[in-house]
Structure 1
Amino acid sequence: MPIRAVLMNDTRADRHFGCLRVMRLIEKRLAGQGIEIAGRSPIRNDWENDRAFLDAMGRSDLVVINGEGTFHHGAQSALRLLKVVDHPARAGKPVALINTLYQDNPKEWRRYLDKIALVSARDSRSAAEIEALTGRRTPVVPDMSLSDGMLAAPGGPGRDRILVGDSVSRTLSRTLREIARHSPDTFFLPILTTLKAPRAHWPFPIRQLREAFIHAHAAAAGALDRKILFSRTEEEFIAHLLRARLHVTGRFHAVCFCLFTGTPFLAVDSNSWKIAALLDDFGLGRQRLVTAEELRERLAQGGAEDYSDEERARIEAGLRLCTEKARDLFGEIAGLARDGGDVRRG
């Protein structure tokens, strides 16, 4: 009989290629362990009032929370996820919090973490913060988007352009888009399917109006600016990156894509330590992490930011380790479900 799990914080609703890849690979890894998904709670979902999800939790053997970039600076959306440990529908089933950033959260959250059977951080800084708070061993398994290993060798023919991406910061996104618009051989590549995120948690019909607006906005922007490259699928987004000699981005997941596609990058820091922490864990240093002010100067040098031999070796070794650690993590998750009960590991 298969193990059944519910999956919380399903980030696919934002149509962000990093999140789409993360969720696809989490589900692939769960299926590889004989775990089927009985229910999903989307990002920002009011799961406590979602009867279908609660019913699925009641029929399941395991609760898996995809932490991703949610757990920082005391976000209420993160606290809402942690509260699953106290919900009656959980009924003592083991909870696994995986793939999580953890930064600058209230000390009071320890009471929730103590009830979670397995916690896995996606970077060493987050693991250290959880360990200092709870006193428990916290394994580091880098972001799930990296768990399928290297897709393409760095460099190679056909990389003939600079791609400039976006950011969670609207101000930085505008700056990046202006750079792409006014620089030769440079194109703007959003990591979303559109220029603005949908709001799947908004009530109908406001959600439908938002959908119509973001698609009309993207169509108008594309008609006015031929240097915007929209991607309909993860595969199209990757294909664009494989043509780039450099990708400039303010997005954590775009950096992840650059690692496994062998695409040189420059990154402008985000709303947490996630990019810097990823670079530290891969041993890449900070030379590719720039401020918005430094970015124009670096690009003025012609975008000659190819990976060094040492960087290539570190990236390839890091990706191999990601694959191994993800395999071990999901084996442990399956073990939790087989053992059953409110068991704390670490």
Structure 2
Amino acid sequence: MAVFLGEEFYSNLSRKLDAYASARALGGSRAAASRVWRFLNWAGQNCSSTDVARKLAGEGRFGEALSLLLAGTKAGGVLGRQAAEEFQTFATWLGYSGHVKEAEAWMGRLPDQSLSGAGAWFVDFWYRRSILDSAHNFRLRQLLGQQPDEATESKILWLLYMTGEVQGDLDQLYSAAARRGNMTAARDWLSILAARDPDKFFSIATDNKKWFAKKGTSLAIDMLLCDGDTPLANMIGERPRQLARHFRQSSADIWSRIGDSSLSVAVVGNSPCEIGKAKGEEIDAHDVVIRFNHATVGAQHQSDYGRKTDVLVTNAFMLRNFVEDLDIPVIVTSKDWEVFTKEKKTAFALAEKGVPLATVPRELRTKINHALKATASSGLQTLAAVCDVRGGNENVGIYGFSLVDQIGPKPTSANYFRNTRPAANHNWRGEALMLDAIRRNGNIDTALEAAGEMRYDNQWKTLERFTPTRFRIEGDHTQYHCGSAAVARSLRHFLAPHGVIVEDKKYDVLVVNGEGTMHHGSKGFHRKMKILGRALDAGKEAYLINTVWQDNPHDYDDVLRGLTGIIVREAMSQRELLEKHGIKARLHPDMAYYAPLEAPTDVVDYKGSIVITDFFSKEFDTFVRLTRAEAIKYPFVDMMTVGWDDLIASLKTAEMLITGRHHAVFAACRAEIPFVAFGGNTHKIEGIFHSAGVDIPICESRAKLPEMIEWARNNRQEYQKLFDWLKSYKGWKL
């Protein structure tokens, strides 16, 4: 029949049926919509069911969205796979918000209960959210018997370790995984043994020296081997040895000072509960002031929270933020930093600067974690440790702690100094019981049993009112050229696992894509900063991302300080924000480079020739095309008409690219060909080279173009350094 009616007829018909099904689903007729989509799936046509499910979720119709996806999982084929993937993503959102039991119940309805389906989801969910419930251990051991992949197997073993699995049984499970060649499990086992059973560690490690990680050993192993006469001492280098000795000594010093009962100690959390109470002077009057994640307090908050900081507490992943300017003791919190040591390079740098490092004693945090069936927050770990080492709460001031302001019908920010999404991976109600016990008598023991019962009672919205995180994007410049379109594609791709994108004002998080707008106080700069300011005034979480920053006024410094995060594309912008505005920003190369590529449809074979784009003209304050003889001989690429996928595929057939376009440089990098770059209206191209530490020069004039072409041909190694640097970033995230 297709021969007589034509493919276009069937294409138009499938689009109409899909639109009809979408309208029925949004109108509440999910069964009718599902029947249409199953037919389209059977016929090999595209369906919009997952898009509709996201729209329903964004409208707060989350149960309907899950039901729609669940129906789709039974369809098989492309629709079934897409629906199953989305269903698991939606269940994850539900669980991450605190609705753990509801998420697990929905996942239990998936038709595929194999490890590749629901089983793997449960393992990953419990692992990422540190749901440390020994009631799960029987099922975890069952899943081990299904021969999971190495990553899933390592997560299962970690969960068993963190929930207090009997050491002998744990040794058998780790040993079996290691003998099968799971090197992650093998190295984790050595670290656990180093912390728990040194004699067995030496026995196992002596026979399996190949298990020592090429990327470095854990702090637990370093501390065991750091003395020169220890067996296997030659398995670690001098730098790990010095870090272990530094950690051991400074940890003892830090807790000795905090434990001195003759000194008063203030532990200052980040809850907004102290705003307006004018306790700043009272806090600063303590001999030792402990703060979390920020060593300095902004002037606008000093009257309430004080300004003095003697000890900083931060998690392992935030350590890197303090390498440059920190000179006070640091208590590092993590799920088990000695055994599963993260950010070790940062720890090296801090130790070599002489910054004292410590952790909360392992025995105490293990007791708390087992009681809570979750990893405890940095705040509760620190409060419990302070009272434990001092033998009670006498002369201990507790400020900025609520532990329930992240849950309930109207959760607030977890920080007094910026808007953030409430964190859902801790047992907040259980921690609140422990906090109450600490305030009463400085001892958590009376609250341990009751705290565990609260593990699954942490949601802050009823399921009927639940919505995933709703992102609103400002700065979608898709219509400008294909590089900007790639940025928009990348942004949506990397946000998709974390929530839904909405177009209206009912959003939770504002994401402003700065791109090349934020420079020299331009109109676009003022417009975007005002949008960010309005979001903060409305109590929203807001980010400025993927941006240049150059020669901007100080009109919006208060807005910059209130943002949840700032991500710049290169180091020159990062340095300017810090030096001129006192703002720390994270660096991540332009998102266009990381956009998922689709199959190209219109590839040009340049047959190894040089190709060229347009350039920024300072004279005309716009991009222009060179028309002189030295440039017109090269094939011209118009980034406003070509697609990103086609551009990269086409550039792979060229010898090199000549360009004045920032995004064209990234297209050349994705195609892995050399390029000659002219400067633009900002430092964004120069900033790329500076960030990567490569010696690729900017072409300063058209007269130097032949010289620069020859340089590019003879210095391929510098471009390869840039390509490798870009590939070292594994993807973008907020």
* TM-score class normalised by the smaller sequence: 0.5 to 0.7
Aligned equivalents of 1:133 and 1:171: distance in 2? 26
Contact 1:84 1:90 in 2 (8 A): no
Which residue of the other structure, out of 172, 178, 188, is the alignment partner of 2:628? 178
Aligned equivalents of 1:306 and 1:32: distance in 2? 43
Query: What are the superposed Cα offsets for residues 259-305 of structure 1, whole Å, 9 maximum, x if unpaired?
Result: 11111100111111111111111222233544222114445x5x962
1:190 pairs with 2:638 = yes
Aligned equivalents of 2:625 and 2:606: distance in 1? 27
1:259 pairs with 2:669 = yes
Amino acid at match of 1:81: K
Aligned equivalents of 1:306 and 1:21: distance in 2? 31
Match of 1:21 in 2: 486
Where 1:11 maps in the other structure, the secondary structure is coil
Contact 2:679 2:700 in 1 (8 A): yes
- Structure 1, gaps ≥5 residues long: 40-55, 152-156, 194-230, 334-346
**Closer/same/farther in 2, CA of residues 134 and 117 from structure 1, 3 Å limit:** farther
Contact 2:675 2:712 in 1 (8 A): no
Aligned equivalents of 1:171 and 1:69: distance in 2? 14
Aligned equivalents of 1:261 and 1:174: distance in 2? 24
Which residue of the other structure, out of 571, 576, 579, is the alignment partner of 1:124? 571
Q: Could you state the TM-score of these two structures normalised by the residue count of structure 1? A: 0.68
**Closer/same/farther in 2, CA of residues 86 and 281 from structure 1, 3 Å limit:** closer
Contact 1:166 1:172 in 2 (8 A): no
Match of 1:309 in 2: 717
Aligned length: 260
The percentage of counterpart residues that share the same residue type is 27
Match of 2:472 in 1: 6
State how 1:26-175 maps to structure 2 within 5 Å: 26-33=491-498, 35-39=499-503, 56-57=504-505, 59-87=506-534, 91-147=538-594, 159-169=607-617, 174=624
Aligned equivalents of 1:120 and 1:108: distance in 2? 19
Amino acid at match of 1:283: G
RMSD between aligned residues: 2.8
Aligned equivalents of 1:259 and 1:178: distance in 2? 27
Higher mean displacement: 174-183 or 118-127: 174-183
Which residue of the other structure, out of 646, 651, 672, is the alignment partner of 1:236? 646
Aligned equivalents of 1:293 and 1:111: distance in 2? 45
Match of 1:321 in 2: 728
Contact 1:246 1:265 in 2 (8 A): yes
Give the superposition deviation at 1:69: 0.5
Larger radius of gyration: 2
Match of 2:695 in 1: 285
Query: What are the superposed Cα offsets for residues 237-260 of structure 1, whole Å, 9 maximum, x if unpaired?
Result: 222211110110010110011111
Give the superposition deviation at 1:236: 1.9
**Closer/same/farther in 2, CA of residues 304 and 100 from structure 1, 3 Å limit:** closer
Where 1:74 maps in the other structure, the secondary structure is coil
Contact 1:161 1:244 in 2 (8 A): yes
Match of 1:202 in 2: none
Query: What are the superposed Cα offsets for residues 86-130 of structure 1, whole Å, 9 maximum, x if unpaired?
Result: 437962011000111000000222122122221111111111111
Q: Could you state the TM-score of these two structures normalised by the residue count of structure 2? A: 0.33
Give the superposition deviation at 1:3: 1.2
Aligned equivalents of 1:84 and 1:172: distance in 2? 26
Aligned equivalents of 1:12 and 1:273: distance in 2? 22
Aligned equivalents of 1:150 and 1:291: distance in 2? 34
Match of 1:200 in 2: none
Contact 2:679 2:698 in 1 (8 A): no
Aligned equivalents of 2:595 and 2:625: distance in 1? 32
Give the superposition deviation at 1:36: 1.3
Aligned equivalents of 2:596 and 2:637: distance in 1? 23
The structure whose RCO (Cα within 8 Å, separation 6+) is larger is: 1
